[in-house]
Structure 1
C-alpha cells in the first residue's frame, strides 16, 4: 500500500476544490458557518480512510490547506463540524462524509443506508435528532484530477442560431441498443463513427444532452428496483456522471466533444442548478447540507424547512454570493475545460427568484450576461418552475433562448383537429411573436419542439390517447394528463394499415410544421426513427427498453423525410430569419413580408380567424431582394397546413420572371418538385410547401 503524505500547510483559499499544482494538492472548501473542517484521505482503492487532517486556515469563509506529495487520483472527502441546530438552519454532522462540491470526478454513487441521514430515522420529529453512524462506507469519494487534456486543433463550431437544429438526446438511451457502436451507453459511443454518420445524414447541428453532471439514484426508486434515468438529481456540478464513463477518466468526455466538434456538431448540456439531489429535511446528508445548509439552500421562515419551488424538496440559494460563484465556476469549467458550447437550464425560473419573486435582473442573469465566457455560448431556459408565478415563457432576458411548450401544444392540438386552434398555431409558426417580439429579442429566442424527454415521443403522440405509466410504480398518477395526443382509432400498437398510414401522415405533418416555423427547432432523439415509449410520458425512472431507442425498429421512411425537411430548412433562409416577420409594413424597407391567405386567396379577416372550425392555414413568407442571404431576386415560400378535408387553394401570383414550385407534399413524401400555376389541389390533413423560383 502506498504511503500517503499527511503534512499540511496553509495553502491558498482559491481556486476552490482540490487542485494539483505539480508539487501537491491544494484543498479549499467554502463554509460560512462551520467551526472546523476535516479533510479525509483514502487509500488508492478508495475503501480505507487512512488520514483525517484539519484544514489549518480559513480565509473569507474558505477553509484551505496544501499537502505536498499528493497526486492526481487521490480519493478524499470532508467532515465538517459546526452546530446541529435545524431550527436555525444548521445541520452539521461530522459523522457524515461529504462530497466536495467542486470535485471534478466521483468514484460512483451513494449506496443507500440510514447512515446517510444526519438524523435518526423513525424517531419522533426525526430531522431534529442527531445520528452518529459513520456514513463513509456508503458515500462516493471525490477524486483529484489533473488538467492537461490535449485538445489539438479543436474549435467550437459556432453555429449561428438561425442555422441551429438541436437534437435532444440521452447518453445512455441513444446508443445502448445500437447494434454496431463500441461501448454502448457511454460517452465514447455518442461520438462513434456510426453515430456521427447518423447525425450527418439527419442534418442536426447541435446535440443537447440530458444531465451528464454526476447525479444520484433516488432511494425510493432503488427500493422499487428502478433507477434515476434522466439524471435531474445532481450531486456534483463539476464531475461527469460515472455511469457514462468506461474507466472513470474525464478525458472520455473531452474526446467525445472533440469528435463531435470535428463533425461540426455543438454540445449543449442540460444542467440542474435549481436544486440538488439531497431533497428536503428528510433527505440524506451527502454534500451541501452538511457543508453549510444555511448558505446553500433557500430556507423557510422557520429555518427548519426548505423552500421548494422545484418540486424536488429543495431550492438552491443562488442569491448567496458563494453559491452563485459555484454555479458560475461550474459553467465556466464546462466551457473552458470541457469545451461545451452551451447549456439548457432546468426549471430556470428558480434561478431568477428573489425576495419579490421572479426578476429578470436577478443576480444569476446579471452574472451570466456580463461574463466574458458564458455570454458567448448558447443559453436556453426552461422558463418555469412550480413556485408562485413560476410560468415565465417569454420573460427571460437576452441572450437566453426558451423552451416553448406553447408551440408543442399548438402543433399537437391543431393536427388533432381541436376546434379554434388555428390562430394559436399561426402565431407559433412565425416565432411566437406575442411572447418573444420585445426587448429586441430575435425570432430564434423560441426553441420550438413537438416532443422532448418529458412527455410522449412523437410516435406516441399519434398512438396513445392517454398516458400509460404503470411501470413507474406510482399507479399511473405521475406524468402530464394534457398531452394533446390521439391514437387515431386504436390505443397503442396495431397492424391496421389504415391507422398506420394515418399515424405516419400525422407525424410527417407535425415534423414539417416544426421545421417550417421561425425559431430554433429541437428534435427529440429517436423521433426521426419512429421510437416509442409504449405510452409512458414520464419515463424518468425507466433505464430499460421503455426509454432506450430501438435501432432495430427504425422507420427509415420517416428518417428520410425528417432529413429532407432539415435540408429544406437549411436551403431556405426565409424559414430561419433573425428578425420577426410582420404582416404590416416593415419599418426598415416598407415591404410587407408576411401574408395570411384564405383558401380562395383572399386575405384572412378577423372573422376568418375567429371561426372555430378553421382547419387550414395558408401563409406566404417573403424576404426582400438585397438581404444578406439572397442575391437580387425576391424569395418567398407559400406553406399550406390543412388539418381539414381536401380543398383547392389559390396560389399567390408570382412576380415577373418567377414561378411557384411545389417542393413538398406530406401526403406524397418522396414526390419530386413540380410547377404549380393558379390553384393547388390540397390533400386532406397534409402540409404543402411551394417555393418561388426563377423561370428557367
Structure 2
C-alpha cells in the first residue's frame, strides 16, 4: 500500500538541517553547485524509501522546504543532482543516499559495500567511472529530532581554568568493565559510582574522545577491527549511536546534567579538520555528494585530488563561509543545546591554515573569538598537523589553550636520565614560558600532559622501550617511534621486585611533576590505576580489554597518591597561578617570585644550567599576589626534582619565626603531615635518589 506524497512548501533557508517547530518540519541543506536536490523520506522502521520529493525552493546556495504535520522521528536523507566530473572537483551522484550534515541523530552506521562508492569499484577508470547502484540499503538514516530537554536547574560549573584538572576518557572504555548500569554508554558515565569516583579523585573536567557520529574504516572492518577512538566523523551534530543505550539523544543531555551536578565540566574532542569520506577513492556519505568542491580543499591544477594536511585523505575547506558556518553552528549547538563546557580541537593547525600557510588570524579563529557563546567555554588546540608548517605550539591566539607535547617529552626525558634536561624541566615547570609567555596569555595556556590516548599509558612508559602494536595488523609500523620511555631493565611484564619498585617510583615522579607544574594538568583515564595497553602506543582500533579500564586488580595505592597530589595542588594556589613566574622582577608588580637554587643553597649559575650531567632541580616559588615579603601561609613553596642519587639539600634561609614544612615525598608517599612542629625541616636535609619533595614556608 502506497502513501500519498506529503505536501511540501517553500519553507525557510535558516536554520540549516531539519527543524521541528510544533507544526511541521523545515528542511534546509547547503549545496552551491547542485542542479537539483531531492528529500528522501523513509518508513517508520527506516527500511523502505517511501518518497523522493524535490526541494521546492533555493535561496542563494541553500535548498529548503517545509512539510506541515511532520513530527520528530521521521527518517530522511538527500540525493543531490549535478555534474559528475572528478577532474573538475564535482562528484554528484543521485544514486547515493546522503546524510544531512546537520542531522541531530542517525539510526546507525554505514554497512560497507561497493555501492557506497560514487564510482565503479574495479573499473579501469577508477574514481573517474560512475556507479549507478543505489547506496540506500547500506546507509543509516538521518532522523528528525526535537532536542528540547528539561534541564531543570542545570548550571555549567564554569571552573576557573587555574582550578581545572582534565581527565581524558573514552565513553566506552571508562565503564565497560564495571558492573554499572548501561556500562560502555553515556549513561554509564552518569551513574553515582562514576561521579563519586571522579569527584573523590579531584577531577574537575572530563574530556571525552570523539562522540560525534563516526565511521568504522573499511580496512579495519575487513581485518575484524573497529575505529575505537572515533576520529572519522560522519556527522557533526549527532551523538554516535553506539554510545546511546536506547538511541535517544536525551541520554547525552542527561549525562551532562549529572556531571554538572557533581561539579564536573564536559569537554568534547572534536574533529573539524577532515571527515570520514577519505580521498578520491573513498565513499560518498554526505559532504562529497552534496558539494565536493565547497566542503573540501582540492589540489591546485587537478581538482580530482584532495589536500591531505590531516593524513586521513582529505581536509575540510574551512575558508568556505558555509563550511565555517557548519562548524560554528555545530559548536554552538553542543554548547547551547547539549550544555557542554568546552572543546579540544583535533589537528587545530589545519583549521588555521590559509592559502599562505598557518595564520593565527585565520577566519576560524576570528569567528571563534567574536562569538559570545564560544568565548565563554574552554577551547583547547592540538597545535599541529602533518601539513606545511604544521607544528604551531605557542602560536594560537587567546583564549585558546594548547596541548603541550614538549612538556610530555621533556619530563619523560628528565626522569629517564637524559643529559642536559634540567633547564628543559625548569621551563616546563613554569608553564613552558618560552613558548606561551607572550600576547598576554596566562600560564594556564599550557595543557600539560605526560600521556594521552595517542601514545603509551603511564604504566607502559616505565615498562617498554619499544612500541608493540602488532595487534593493529600493520606489522608494528604504525604509532610513534620517539617515545622517550624506559623499561628499567626488562621489556614488558616482570616479577622482579626491584624493577617493579623502580617502575612504581618513576610513575610517582612523573605524576608528581605533572601536578606540581604551572599550567593546566591533563590526566589519561586509567593512569591512576596502573592501566597497561601491553606496549601498544596506537590503540585506535582496539575495542577490547586492551583499552577498557579494568577496576579489578587495579593499583589502588597509586590512585591514592594521585588523589593526594591533586589535593595538594588544590590546597596550594601557588602551584596553579595564572601569571607566569619569573626569576627576574615581574612587570606587573615588580616582585621576584621565582628562584632557582643549587643543592648547596646558593643560586644557580649559568654554568650549572649548561651542565649536561646535572640531575637535580630546586625551585622556590612565591605568590604572584604582590606581597613584597614573607608572612602569609602561601608565601612560598620549595620543590626538589632529583633524577640522580640521594643527596643533601640546603633550603633557603627564612626570617625568624618561620620554617620550611615538609609536605610531600614520592619516596615516602604515605607520610602524612599532621604535626607542624614535627614536620618542620632542619636544613640541610636528605632527598632520596630519583624522588620529588615538596616543602612549604609557614609561620612556626
For Structure 1 versus Structure 2, the TM-score category normalised by the shorter chain is over 0.9
Q: Report SS of the residue matched to 1:600.
A: coil
Deviations 1:234-278 (A, max 9, x none): 000000010000111000000000000000000000000000000
Distance 1:349 1:148 in 2: 34
Task: Give 1:124 shift.
Answer: 1.8
1:325 aligns with 2:325: yes
Task: Give 1:581 shift.
Answer: 0.3
Which position in structure 2 is the counterpart of 1:682? 687
Task: Give 1:658 shift.
Answer: 1.8
* Segment drifting more, 60-69 vs 210-219: 60-69
Which position in structure 2 is the counterpart of 1:669? 669
Deviations 1:273-306 (A, max 9, x none): 0000000000000000000000000000111100
Check 1:322–1:503 CA distance in 2 against 1; reply closer, same or farther (3 A cut).
Answer: same
Contact 2:407 2:450 in 1 (8 A): yes
Distance 1:401 1:655 in 2: 39
Distance 1:600 1:467 in 2: 40
Distance 1:404 1:634 in 2: 28
Q: Report SS of the residue matched to 1:9.
A: coil
Gaps of 5+ in 1: none
Which position in structure 2 is the counterpart of 1:259? 258
Distance 1:85 1:340 in 2: 41
Task: Give 1:659 shift.
Answer: 1.0
Task: Kindly report which structure 2 residues correspond to 1:607-686, keeping only aligned pairs within 5 A, or say none.
Answer: 607-623=607-623, 632=632, 635-673=635-673, 674-686=679-691
Q: Report SS of the residue matched to 1:676.
A: coil
Contact 1:5 1:67 in 2 (8 A): no
Task: Give 1:585 shift.
Answer: 1.2
Contact 1:489 1:499 in 2 (8 A): yes
Contact 1:344 1:381 in 2 (8 A): yes
Distance 1:357 1:678 in 2: 55
Which position in structure 2 is the counterpart of 1:564? 564
Which position in structure 2 is the counterpart of 1:238? 237
Task: Give 1:626 shift.
Answer: 5.7
Distance 2:391 2:383 in 1: 6
Q: Report SS of the residue matched to 1:175.
A: coil
Task: Kindly report which structure 2 residues correspond to 1:130-529, keeping only aligned pairs within 5 A, or say none.
Answer: 130-178=130-178, 180-301=179-300, 302-529=302-529
Task: Give 1:587 shift.
Answer: 2.3
Distance 1:122 1:631 in 2: 78
Task: Give 1:633 shift.
Answer: 5.5
Q: Report SS of the residue matched to 1:639.
A: strand
Task: Kindly report which structure 2 residues correspond to 1:537-548, keeping only aligned pairs within 5 A, or say none.
Answer: 537-548=537-548
Contact 1:626 1:632 in 2 (8 A): no
Distance 2:201 2:4 in 1: 52
Task: Give 1:24 shift.
Answer: 1.0
Contact 1:296 1:317 in 2 (8 A): yes
Which position in structure 1 is the counterpart of 2:676? none
Deviations 1:438-490 (A, max 9, x none): 00000000000000000000000001110000000000000000111111111
Distance 1:634 1:200 in 2: 25
Contact 2:574 2:634 in 1 (8 A): no
Distance 2:667 2:293 in 1: 60
Q: Report SS of the residue matched to 1:512.
A: helix
Distance 2:547 2:624 in 1: 46
Which position in structure 2 is the counterpart of 1:26? 26
* Segment drifting more, 567-576 vs 587-596: 587-596
Q: Report SS of the residue matched to 1:521.
A: strand
Task: Give 1:553 shift.
Answer: 2.0
Task: Give 1:554 shift.
Answer: 1.3
Which position in structure 2 is the counterpart of 1:694? 699
Check 1:593–1:655 CA distance in 2 against 1; reply closer, same or farther (3 A cut).
Answer: same
Task: Give 1:526 shift.
Answer: 0.3
Contact 1:368 1:375 in 2 (8 A): yes
Contact 2:581 2:624 in 1 (8 A): no
Q: Report SS of the residue matched to 1:70.
A: coil
Contact 1:92 1:292 in 2 (8 A): yes
Question: Segments of 4+ in structure 1 off by > 4 A?
Answer: 1-5, 624-628, 630-634
Task: Give 1:590 shift.
Answer: 2.3
* Segment drifting more, 512-521 vs 619-628: 619-628
Which position in structure 2 is the counterpart of 1:7? 7
Q: Report SS of the residue matched to 1:22.
A: coil
Check 1:27–1:627 CA distance in 2 against 1; reply closer, same or farther (3 A cut).
Answer: farther
Distance 2:56 2:9 in 1: 7
Check 1:368–1:625 CA distance in 2 against 1; reply closer, same or farther (3 A cut).
Answer: closer
Which position in structure 2 is the counterpart of 1:93? 93
Deviations 1:478-531 (A, max 9, x none): 000011111111111111111111111000000000000000000000000000
Alignment RMSD, CA only?
Answer: 1.3
Task: Give 1:624 shift.
Answer: 5.5
Distance 1:267 1:501 in 2: 36
TM-score (norm 1): 0.98
Distance 1:104 1:70 in 2: 16
TM-score (norm 2): 0.98
Distance 1:473 1:632 in 2: 59
Q: Report SS of the residue matched to 2:498.
A: helix
Deviations 1:624-665 (A, max 9, x none): 56669x995561100000000000010111233321111111
Gaps of 5+ in 2: 674-678
Task: Give 1:672 shift.
Answer: 2.3
Distance 2:624 2:111 in 1: 63
Task: Give 1:588 shift.
Answer: 2.9
Q: Report SS of the residue matched to 1:8.
A: coil
Distance 1:54 1:671 in 2: 73
Q: Report SS of the residue matched to 1:171.
A: coil
Which position in structure 2 is the counterpart of 1:550? 550
Aligned residues: 693
Distance 2:258 2:636 in 1: 37
